[in-house]
Chains A and B, each alone.
Chain A
Amino acid sequence: MAQALAWMAADPDARLLAGGQTLMPMLAMRLVRPSKLIDIARIPGLDRLEIAADRVELGATLRQVAVERSAALAEAVPLLAKAIRFVGHPPTRRRGTVGGSLANADPAAELALVAVTLGAELLLHDGSAVAAVDFFLAPMTTALPEGAMLTGLRIARQSAPRRGTGFREVAMRAGDYALASAACEVTLDAAGRCASLRLGIGGATPVPTLLPLAALLGTSLTEAKPAIAAALAPLEMMSDGNAGAAYRRRAAQALAEQVLADALAEAMRCN
């Protein structure tokens, strides 16, 4: 780790290489020309997966396939288990890493959306942490300081008994970058009313965005449509050759409603 940081400090044109699922194609197409590649995949301990009573920590070089295959992680953070299957395809998940996806900050990245939705923290090499909502600044742009290395992701565990999650997205093809995605975690009180609600949108907006839905707390969540629309209204929607902003806004609304319904249904099944 120290060696990697030293090399980075010595050469501002060097690039870190984790799973290489974005960087390698860009190199092949000559779109980036780093002076050096610093392969961090073999730094000891950087691929850790810690599941504690109150939190989980995923090391930066933890392969996405390890997230997908951990039953304990799926039980601790079910939203992550739902989202990970939308990340690329099985062959890319074998190489792709948690940290690589987060640091790349593609607006459509599922892991970034989960991090924002669950209020996760991104861990840096110096022991500091950045809240996910503050980490993603713009497409492919993060708050990671020059010369810093992302070392992991910390997610606090939600302990409520009546909990439900939902994750959906729409893409041109299965495994493609999401045109819009939505993630949700909801908890209910004993009376079946909303005790907590976190609902995030990805793909459609320049960065994954948590919707302000405090007005729905304490309700039965069956009339959420206007609140979601109001929360989406001020957000800038992206546009590209596959889909315009109007499509993304409609899709974000529809997916938000659907993941909320999914999460609610799951929470209602818990007793």
Chain B
Amino acid sequence: MTVQLQPPFRYVGHKRRVREDRRFVAGGGHYAADLVLPGMLHCAPVQSEHPCARIVAIDASAALALPGVHAVLTGAELAAATEPLMNGANTPLVVRYPLAVGQVRYAGEWVAMVVAESRAIAEDARELVRVEYETLPFVLDGEAAMAPGAPLVHPPHGSNVLLDRHFVWGPVAEQFAAAPRKLSYRVRWGRSSTVPLETFAVTARWEPTDAVLDVWASIQMPKFPDQIARSLRLPGNAVRVHYDVDVGGSYGVKRGIKHAVLVGHLARALNRPVRLVEDRLENMTGGDMQGPERVFDVELAFDDSGRVQAMKMRALDNVGAYAGRSPFQLGKPIGAIVGPYAIAAVEYHALAVASNKTPQEAVRGFGQAPTNYALETGIDKVAAVLGLDRLEVRRRNFIRADQFPYLIPSGTTYDSGNYHGLLDKTVAVADLFAERDALRAQGLLAGVGIASCLEPSGGNSSFEPLLNPANRTTTWMESCRIHVDGLGGITAAMHTTTSGQAHETLVSVAVAEVLEIPPERIRVIRPDSLASLPSNSPVGSRMAIMLGGAAVRAAQKLRHQLMQIAAHDLGVPLLHLRYSEGDIHAPDGRKLSWLELVLIAHREYFRLPEGMEPGLSASSIYMVPTGGQLPLDDKVQMYPCHSFEFHYVLLAMDPVLCRPEIRRYIIGHDCGQVISPDVVKGMTLGGIAHGIGAALLEEFSVDAQTGQPTAASFMDYLLPSAHEVPRVEIVHQVTRSPLTVFGQKGSGESGYLGSPAAIAGAVNDALAPRGVRVDQLPMRPALLSDLVAEGTSA
């Protein structure tokens, strides 16, 4: 059990400069594409032009004849030399290599990789690679892919269903039979993603004398070195991933395992450093970076007061051409399947279906935002059916503050929360309903959107064994090592990559709080994977909890070592000593300063306690606070901590043009004890911007006739710009988690988890006077305008 540090805090929660900002703003970041190695070769992929086809022949002779071309690697050659990429689902016959082998399964899939002296030559050469295809029938829609007779994406698997899990938690049938009211509905979440400014980039170098593969990659991938080594049939200690590369944005998608395995193979085979930096078209079509695409069918059983007693939810996710980890995105939301509501019984049917689309990858929230959208839509519908206020229906269903810790039907215990308190505090900021009515009086369609949802945080892997019992992975650690040098300088190491989440700020503040030394004096480094302690990666809104926890634990061990040294040197029992800002004071007025303690540890061994190792160093490998048990009876404790956010949004649009404009965005946010206020604020604002994109603009559309991607650049994939993102008013509440070192919870997904639901609710409130509803995202102007004009719903 973690001993929690209590406020008041010296550094935690104080507004301070985010230490990474200066580096990034001043152009001092070091990205994978900045690395230039002597003799480095460059790659350009040959991509499939068909969504489904047999590869009859590949003729690379003309490409190889071009001066400067070193190799054209095909899938058959690569498959012979490597093991398949990791597959999270229990589908051993769904085999995946970095390049297509024998058959292509989506338009944009890599068929061959050209390696040349320069990227330009590689691009010239790839146009000369002749691939002969025999086209095959394809399927793009998830429901169509499940239908009998649908073309099979992986014929050996025998079906397009990659995951089919059915859970019943609590007396669902009884509640539905007894409930006075029921409703059912369908919502669709369109295929969008996080779209980092930096595309995927990786450089690999093979050192034949040391037999080690060095990898510099733009990644946010759990167990990345292990996966590369396994695929390349190398010992784990023959892959050295350099975590000190800055990653130019990710929020889930920078997995890049196929890129790294391929480039690693090429570097060994050619004995030259090789790099692959995707351009935007390659990233969007063949980078495997698109997010969930879901159809939810939901039934709710509720009473006349609007209290929801039971829910049935079927989530069908079109995961694209290969499995990877994407089916697990149906699993993580099980840990907050009832949201902030006291729903006693739930039936959940999770279906991951393959199609001839780009494979799906992890996206911010790992499936939680779509699930929240489905649930919040239902709460709004309950209110509409009963003619009740949407705020009141939420109040009636919220878990009360005095009910925590609260066990939900699917086996997770929520750590803490005060949902009623934050709702009241947020709506007290403004009467958006009155502002809405004033806009309506001007002839606009105007609506108020509401969403209340959780951000499960402190990510573990409990969904893996829950969805796939053959997978017994439950340990998801994070680590920190602190070292004090001979001159008293403090260096703290974290052991994974960082993609803009301000982990250096986090570690320095956490260590500073324990050692009572200003964060500016603490250096934070990211050694390579061979010099690292076990770690996982910055996913699942976990680093404030996990890396913060590891940093505090390591700092506490170091502080204890200092106390032991002082107790011995001063001849005073440890309990009588007082630690203050690095110095240790005895009751009689004697003290040992920080520098004297360092001197003893590093140079004056005769003053150390007997048996103590010299030097000052401590480390912690921190496990998720609630541990990692295997599921029991289809139930499991998912993430430990549960942040809460309440969105309250005013939106208006012209009744013909129907281009939604957000007039006011108020969010109540509670992530427990805040560690770095500006970091949390940045996460929340960015998350809301991301949600605006998912709700109104972004979609990886595909032409239904040809299977070709139609949003393959920033011309057609519409990210919200500064014009579309409004000023956001943030209301703070602090409900501490009892499970973490400072009482903190996660905030890496904040804003995004509820904003699509809130904006969708606002659009529907705006459309309500016209008798029209939309239950699909994104809600684009033409869709809305056409529905208003026709008086129909979608």
Known: A247-B781, A251-B657. A173 touches B786 (CB 8 A): no
Please tell me if the beta carbons of B789 and A250 are within 8 angstroms of each other in the complex: yes
Please tell me if the beta carbons of A174 and B701 are within 8 angstroms of each other in the complex: no
Known: A173-B720, A242-B780, A251-B657. A29 touches B281 (CB 8 A): yes
| A170 contacts B by Cβ under 8 Å | yes
| B581 contacts A by Cβ under 8 Å | no
CA distance A244 to B781 in the complex (A): 11
By DSSP majority rule, is chain B's interface helix, strand, loop, or mixed? loop
| B590 contacts A by Cβ under 8 Å | no
As a 0/1 sequence over residues 775 to 792 of chain B, the CB contacts with chain A under 8 angstroms (1 = contact) are 000001110011001000
**Among B697, B720, B723, B724, which residue has the most Cβ atoms of chain A within 10 A?**
B723
Please tell me if the beta carbons of B786 and A244 are within 8 angstroms of each other in the complex: yes
| A18 contacts B by Cβ under 8 Å | no
CA distance A253 to B659 in the complex (A): 15
Please tell me if the beta carbons of A241 and B716 are within 8 angstroms of each other in the complex: yes
| B40 contacts A by Cβ under 8 Å | no
CA distance A241 to B701 in the complex (A): 9
Q: Inside 8 A of B580's CB, which chain A residues have their CB?
A: none
| B654 contacts A by Cβ under 8 Å | yes
CA distance A176 to B654 in the complex (A): 18
A182 CB to nearest chain B CB (Å)? 11
> Residue of A at shortest CB range from B719?
A173
| B734 contacts A by Cβ under 8 Å | no
Please tell me if the beta carbons of A174 and B723 are within 8 angstroms of each other in the complex: yes
Please tell me if the beta carbons of B123 and A170 are within 8 angstroms of each other in the complex: no
CA distance A242 to B717 in the complex (A): 11
As a 0/1 sequence over residues 152 to 183 of chain A, the CB contacts with chain B under 8 angstroms (1 = contact) are 00000000000000000010111110010000
Known: A170-B657, A241-B710, A251-B656. A246 touches B701 (CB 8 A): no
**Among B654, B656, B659, B720, which residue has the most Cβ atoms of chain A within 10 A?**
B656
| B721 contacts A by Cβ under 8 Å | yes
| B572 contacts A by Cβ under 8 Å | no
CA distance A254 to B780 in the complex (A): 18
> Residue of A at shortest CB range from B655?
A254
CA distance A251 to B786 in the complex (A): 11
Q: Inside 8 A of B720's CB, which chain A residues have their CB?
A: 173
| A243 contacts B by Cβ under 8 Å | yes
Contact of A175 among B281, B721, B786 (CB under 8 A): B721
Contact of A254 among B656, B697, B701, B710 (CB under 8 A): B656
Q: Inside 8 A of B659's CB, which chain A residues have their CB?
A: 170, 172
Q: Inside 8 A of B716's CB, which chain A residues have their CB?
A: 241
Please tell me if the beta carbons of B721 and A247 are within 8 angstroms of each other in the complex: no
Known: A170-B659, A172-B718, A173-B721. A254 touches B786 (CB 8 A): no
Q: Inside 8 A of A42's CB, which chain B residues have their CB?
A: none
CA distance A52 to B123 in the complex (A): 51
CA distance A173 to B697 in the complex (A): 9
A47 CB to nearest chain B CB (Å)? 28
Please tell me if the beta carbons of B786 and A247 are within 8 angstroms of each other in the complex: yes
CA distance A173 to B123 in the complex (A): 32
- A-facing residues in B756-794 (Cβ within 8 Å): 780-782, 785-786, 789
Q: Inside 8 A of B710's CB, which chain A residues have their CB?
A: 241
Q: Inside 8 A of B782's CB, which chain A residues have their CB?
A: 179, 242-244, 247
Please tell me if the beta carbons of B718 and A247 are within 8 angstroms of each other in the complex: no
Q: Inside 8 A of B713's CB, which chain A residues have their CB?
A: 29
**Among A170, A176, A254, which residue has the most Cβ atoms of chain B within 10 A?**
A170
CA distance A253 to B123 in the complex (A): 46
| A269 contacts B by Cβ under 8 Å | no
Q: Inside 8 A of A170's CB, which chain B residues have their CB?
A: 654, 657, 659, 781
Known: A173-B697, A173-B718, A175-B723. A246 touches B786 (CB 8 A): yes
Known: A241-B710, A250-B656. A179 touches B781 (CB 8 A): yes
Q: Inside 8 A of B656's CB, which chain A residues have their CB?
A: 250-251, 253-254
B5 CB to nearest chain A CB (Å)? 45
- B-facing residues in A114-160 (Cβ within 8 Å): none
Known: A173-B718, A175-B721. A243 touches B654 (CB 8 A): no
Q: Inside 8 A of B789's CB, which chain A residues have their CB?
A: 246, 250
Please tell me if the beta carbons of A172 and B697 are within 8 angstroms of each other in the complex: yes
B60 CB to nearest chain A CB (Å)? 19
> Residue of B at shortest CB range from A247?
B782
CA distance A120 to B782 in the complex (A): 32
Q: Inside 8 A of B281's CB, which chain A residues have their CB?
A: 29
> Residue of B at shortest CB range from A253?
B656
CA distance A29 to B285 in the complex (A): 14
B290 CB to nearest chain A CB (Å)? 17
CA distance A271 to B721 in the complex (A): 41
CA distance A255 to B786 in the complex (A): 16
CA distance A30 to B697 in the complex (A): 27
As a 0/1 sequence over residues 670 to 706 of chain B, the CB contacts with chain A under 8 angstroms (1 = contact) are 0000000000000000000000000001000100000
Please tell me if the beta carbons of B718 and A254 are within 8 angstroms of each other in the complex: no
> Residue of A at shortest CB range from B714?
A25
> Residue of B at shortest CB range from A246?
B786
- B-facing residues in A241-266 (Cβ within 8 Å): 241-244, 246-247, 250-251, 253-255
Q: Inside 8 A of A244's CB, which chain B residues have their CB?
A: 782, 786
CA distance A176 to B697 in the complex (A): 12
CA distance A26 to B724 in the complex (A): 26
CA distance A255 to B780 in the complex (A): 18
As a 0/1 sequence over residues 178 to 198 of chain A, the CB contacts with chain B under 8 angstroms (1 = contact) are 010000000000000000000
29 contacts between A and B (CB under 8 A): A29-B281, A29-B713, A170-B657, A170-B781, A172-B697, A172-B780, A172-B781, A173-B697, A173-B720, A173-B723, A173-B724, A174-B721, A174-B723, A174-B724, A175-B721, A179-B782, A241-B701, A241-B710, A241-B711, A242-B780, A242-B782, A243-B780, A246-B786, A247-B786, A250-B656, A250-B785, A251-B657, A254-B654, A255-B657
Beyond A170-B657, A173-B718, list 10 extra A-B contacts (CB 8 Å). A173-B721, A173-B723, A173-B724, A174-B723, A175-B721, A242-B780, A244-B786, A246-B789, A250-B789, A254-B654
Ranked 10 nearest A-B pairs via Cβ? A174-B723, A243-B782, A254-B656, A247-B782, A170-B657, A250-B656, A247-B785, A172-B718, A173-B721, A251-B657
